[in-house]
Structure 1
Amino acid sequence: MSWTTALTHWPHLLEQLAADFPQLNLEALKRFRGDRDKMEGYLADAHDLTAREARTTLDDWLMYRAPVIASQAAA
């Protein structure tokens, strides 16, 4: 799922994103809507990742987890 597509499903993705990445704060996630760079920076800082690791982690999450969550929310 692309970042743009994820944003259309953002309200449904937030809780699962916070559950999958336990160091993330749900309220903080709401503030990053639309700003992937800030989201990646927050993910990196919160989980002690490099910028590259955070980008890869978020890419993987968008590829494998986000579509499942979005489809469940649409059902």
Structure 2
Amino acid sequence: MQASASRIENQNLRLELAVGLLNELVNNPQADLQPQFKKFSSALGQPGALAASIHAAESDMQNRGTVYFAD
């Protein structure tokens, strides 16, 4: 559970960075937008990966609970 909380916190920080970079891209665009967009895209990462990771951890916890309470 602690690992999931850490992953969520890291994703929140990554999203805050991405929003800041998006604001910079929109409000202060450079002549060539590609470098700014690449920074934004890399900061955004893959939020779906976080959901999959948390789902896997949840499934593992359910399995452990089932085994624990079966005894």
Q: What TM-score, normalized to structure 1?
A: 0.32
Q: What TM-score, normalized to structure 2?
A: 0.33
Structure with the higher fraction of residues in helix conformation: 2
